[in-house]
Amino acid sequence: MDADVLVVGTGLAGAAAARALAEAGWRVRTLDKGRGPGGRLSTRRKQAGGFDHGAATLQANTPAFAGWLAEEVAAGRAAPWGEAYVGLPGMSALVAGLLDGLDVHWSVAVAALQFEAGQWRAVDAEGRVVGAAPAFLLAVPAPQALALLRASALADDVVPPRMLDALAGIRYMPCWAALLETEPSAIRRLPDPGHGDVLGAIYREAEKPGRSNTGHWVLHATPAWSEANLELDAGTAAQHLLDAFIAMTGIGPEAIREISAHRWRYARPLDVLDPLPLEGHDLVLAGDAFGAPVSADLPPAERAWLSGRAAAGRLIAARQPKS
């Protein structure tokens, strides 16, 4: 297949890496099991409009990330919102912009990897080769990366055992999110979840630039509640979050139009690793669990973008002639 590098996972980390590699002249092929761009910057589209049910905003703490967001504002894909930024018309536009013009394949679930004759090959559950290239960039949450690598009979000199051990030690904080539609005028003011046990954050979509759906809300459960109730079915989780919202706002049940829930099992990493000692034969890792240490206090999205750019840089440097 005509590619120099295979990128699996096209959230913000994978998309940033793919764009950097393409700008360096690499032929990039990207694969993602999702149906469209976003990852944890997803925007869920419904008949009545969109919901940013993943990361609600982006903050810039480093000059590089701030520079990229400024470029996105100039391109019309982002807008400032207070001290933060949001994507236009939804958060997923930021990932879509990075992937624009690249060879992207959606709804492709990679089940295993092969490495033969200097080529990485991605194989689906039916054993079909869905991508091949001499270099491989894996940009998925650590547990998913670990499961994929364990399912692949790869030699130790290709995937070092220390990589598997390190991936197994990375923990994540989950988050249940609810997508709520109410009658547009049912609530006049944005409620403050305060220190509740269930709801940790509430976002009214119409408060953000470029949105007009005044009855659209995104509810994020607290980390503690999300972890304790991680295995609930989505309908039950949605009802719990709705009950907490009703108790907080006093809104009548008759004003509720629709609610659904999404479980972010890997919302925020609790552990961050330096990927350099872990990487194998033309294999690099990217994501919010790699790169700057937790002590740097970078939001996961910014860490993911920086990690993707850094991973691309390591691949590019490895191909440079040795002086």
- Per-residue pLDDT of the chain (323 residues), as tens digits, is 689 999 999 999 999 999 999 999 999 999 999 999 999 999 988 766 789 999 999 999 999 999 999 999 999 999 999 999 999 999 999 999 999 999 999 999 999 999 999 999 999 999 999 999 999 999 999 999 999 999 999 999 899 999 999 999 999 999 999 999 999 888 877 777 877 899 999 999 999 999 988 899 999 999 999 999 999 999 999 999 999 999 999 999 899 999 999 999 999 999 999 888 788 789 999 999 998 766 677 899 999 999 999 999 999 998 865 44
pLDDT for res 50: 86
Q: Which residue has the tokens 């536009």?
A: 93
For the stretch 2-5, contacts whose Cβ atoms lie closer than 8 Å and that sit 24 or more positions apart, written own/partner, are 2/27, 3/27, 3/28, 3/29, 3/103, 3/131, 3/132, 3/133, 4/28, 4/133, 4/134, 4/135, 5/29, 5/133, 5/134, 5/135, 5/136, 5/137, 5/315
Domains of the chain, earliest start first: 5-41+58-170+270-318 (3.50.50.60), 172-268 (3.90.660.10)
